[in-house]
Amino acid sequence: MSSGRFAGKVVLVTGAGSGIGRATALAFAKEGADLVVCDVDEAKLDDVSSAARAQGRRVLARKVDVSSAAAMQSFADEVHAAFPAIDVLVNNAGVAVTGGLRDTTLEDWNWVMGINVMGVVHGCHFFVPRMIDRGRGGHVVNIASAAGFAGSRLLLAYSTTKFAVVGFSEALRADLRRHRIGVTAICPGFIRTNINEASRRHGRFAEPAALERSRRLMERGASPDLVAEKIMNAVEHDQGLVPVTAEAHLIYALKRSAPDLLATIWRRLEAWQAPEL
């Protein structure tokens, strides 16, 4: 019999192949949870699944595009054939687009909104009703960002999606409270993940110097393991909004208490990232 904080629970993590998703899936597995995981990268998905099974956990792993309602419906049907309902849903899959309004195409908007916003909506739409019907409570974790507190001209579309995730999580938390299902928006700052490599960058933001500055910034970030631990704590203690890392806490505090100072700091960071703009 497994032991740990989440023994006997079933945890679903989207975008589980790398970064925060991988760290989160394996952290829950270490704490006794069985896993349902999905990603668009089958090789990475196989790797995280093997690591979880090596800990004695059951794992259901599938290649799924979270932006597709049809794919998520099929995924949910398969999951619910194996489990009456999941206990914890972690909507983690996400991508980034770097650039301002004139840099960002409508195709970029559809791509980033489809994954970052509709991917979260699809996860909740297809999995939360079964959690409600089962009547045993549960928890939803939506991965937002410190960019969901303060908008940046360098991250126009990305910030838009993360503001949406924060707002959606707040409203969903109020909606699901009566069902004893908690909802958390996790807002990391700089985390060492491959989101830069997977992002779409345009104009000067795509030039080698800008890419190198961004790479150095992310290399100084915290480990994805820190985010995973914050997620598990949020589920245990039913926290609604969780900034992760010192810069995320600072941005959150300044947004409420000194928005003009935050805007100045943000502009300086933008100027360092793209000094010729």
Q: What is the DSSP letter of 87?
A: S
At 191, phi and psi to the nearest 5? -125, 140
Q: What are the CA-CA distances from residue 76 to residues 34, 130, 186, 229 (Å)? A: 16, 10, 23, 26
Q: What share of the chain is helix, strand, coil (3-state, %, to 5)?
A: 55, 15, 30
Rounded Cα distance between 74 and 88, Å, is 19
Is 252 labeled as catalytic in the residue annotation? no
Rounded Cα distance between 138 and 66, Å, is 21
Distance of CA 30 to the CA centre of its chain: 20
Please say whether the beta carbons of 243 and 187 come within 8 A.
yes
Question: Beta strand 59-63 with 88-91: parallel, antiparallel or unpaired?
Answer: unpaired
Kindly compute the dihedral angle of the four CA atoms of residues 251, 25, 32, 128, in this order, to the nearest 10 degrees.
80
Strand partners, 89: 12, 140
Report the SS3 class of residue 162. Answer: helix
Distance of CA 8 to the CA centre of its chain: 24
* Residue closest to 154 by CA, chosen among 100, 111, 105, 201: 100
**Of 6, 126, 149, 158, catalytic:** 158
**Tokens at 276, concatenated:** 């010729």
Residues annotated as catalytic (active site), given as ranges: 158
